[in-house]
Amino acid sequence: MSQDDTNSWSDKDDQMMRLAIAASCDSRIIARPNPWVGAIIQTYDNEIVSGSTQAPGDRHGEIVALDKLGDRARSGTLWVTLEPCSHHGKTPPCVERIISSGIERVVVGIIDPDPRVAGSGIKILREAGIEVCVGVRAKEVAMDLVGYLISRKLGRPMTLVKLASTLDGYIAASDGTSKWITNEESRLAVQELRADSDVIIAGSGTLKIDDPSLTVRLENRRSPLRVVLGAIPPNAKVHPARSFSGDIKDLLSELGKEGNLMAMIEGGAHVANQFLNQHLIDRLHIFYAPKVLGGGQGLRLFEGQGALTMAMAYEFDHLDTRTHRGDIEVIVQSKETTKLIQEVVTASTNH
């Protein structure tokens, strides 16, 4: 509870924040590298409007909603997933516009970890006499904005490793066969993950074996930047792609500086193992086909150096399990990422 005792919220705040989260979905892709923010305003006479962040340089979610109302925003309440910005970036500070609009109460999901904001947006609003309540559905917002949070806190994109496997942990049989382990439904889910990523990273080994294009084949969805670890054969389907040699930490840092928020790592048990060993897997999606290869010399999910004893195993938190017509998608998150999200949630609810 904050000292000015405004950090309490109602069921209605909870419900309106859900609407704001839903509104943010519209800008999930277009806002990058900015956070995809959703906002809801209820006017004094109970009109409700929503807004979501537009393309970079264009309006943030709060402003979109305010623009819909004009003078009618006066004395209204604003629910917004992320703390309104207080700095001059590509657009003027949202807090100034909120104050001048006459909004009386602002309900925020999470504080913005960007050092240029980091609570100062809330402070300015409160100093202007606006009641501000922070931390409503904070965990849900933080989970949704995890790519943005990691980017601002660690200076690199969120990493998502996707693997397709038999139930007993093989991504290829001993003769090298690996294509179509999982079914069409699973492959469609993978397309969605790709469409939600800014970058796809694959090893050059996978290119030699499978020659994948790594593009998004969903209508009206852009294909992410493709990065290959190692040399790219001239006729590879993955072109246009960037080739990278060196430490993956440097790669992620470079990608982070370019404004990429989400990187998907596909293809390559050795590449996956590199990310694992360096504790650089934020989320791991394993698509298990309900098949068993049994003993033998197949290629496993991770290849290379592993933990030598069970107590040293890399630990994750279970997030979700989905089924795709018999295939089972298990989604886990690294303990470090859970901790980072928790820090944002705690900071928000205590703000």
32 known member of a binding site: no
The residue range among 122-130, 134-142, 199-207, 319-327 that interacts with a second copy, by the rule CB under 8 A, is: 319-327
We find the least distance from the C-beta atom of residue 159 to a second copy, in angstroms, to be 14
Non-local CB neighbours of 151 within 8 Å, separated by 6+ positions: 33, 157, 158, 256, 260, 261
79 known member of a binding site: no
- How far apart, in whole angstroms, are the C-alpha atoms of residue 73 and residue 49? 10
We find the least distance from the C-beta atom of residue 319 to a second copy, in angstroms, to be 9
- How far apart, in whole angstroms, are the C-alpha atoms of residue 337 and residue 28? 20
- Residues 152-181 contacting a second copy, CB under 8 A: 165-170, 172-175, 177-181
Candidate residues 69, 118, 209, 286; the one interacting with a second copy per rule CB under 8 A: 286
- How far apart, in whole angstroms, are the C-alpha atoms of residue 221 and residue 154? 28
Q: Is 278 in the site for a second copy (CB under 8 A)?
A: no
- How far apart, in whole angstroms, are the C-alpha atoms of residue 243 and residue 201? 10
Q: Which is nearer to a second copy, 10 or 342 (CB)?
A: 342
Residue 329 falls in the annotated catalytic set: no
* Cα radius of gyration (the chain): 22
We find the least distance from the C-beta atom of residue 322 to a second copy, in angstroms, to be 9
H or E stretch at 105: strand 105-110
How many residues does the structure list for the chain?
A: 351
217 known member of a binding site: yes
Q: Which is nearer to a second copy, 23 or 281 (CB)?
A: 281
DSSP string, 339-350: HHHHHHHHHHHT
Provide the 8-state DSSP code for 25.
G
- Residues 177-236 contacting a second copy, CB under 8 A: 177-181
Show the site string, 287-316: x = touches a second copy by CB under 8 A, - = not: -xxxxxxxxx-x-xxxxxxxxxxxxxxxxx
Instruction: Assign 313 to helix, strand or coil.
Output: coil
In which residue are the tokens 């593009």 written? 215
Q: Which position among 47, 62, 127, 343 bears the catalytic label?
A: 62
58 known member of a binding site: no
25 known member of a binding site: no
Question: Nearest to residue 242, comparing CAs of 224, 216, 266, 269?
Answer: 224
Contact 138, 348 (CB under 8 A): yes
Q: Which is nearer to a second copy, 134 or 172 (CB)?
A: 172
We find the least distance from the C-beta atom of residue 274 to a second copy, in angstroms, to be 10
- How far apart, in whole angstroms, are the C-alpha atoms of residue 17 and residue 11? 10
Contact 226, 214 (CB under 8 A): yes
Binding site for a second copy (CB under 8 A): 165-170, 172-175, 177-181, 269-270, 273, 276-277, 284, 286, 288-296, 298, 300-318, 321, 323, 326-328, 330, 332
Catalytic positions are 62
Binding residues for Zn(2+): 60, 85, 94
Binding residues for substrate: 178, 194, 206, 214, 217, 266
Binding residues for NADP(+): 164, 180, 210
Binding residues: 60, 85, 94, 164, 178, 180, 194, 206, 210, 214, 217, 266
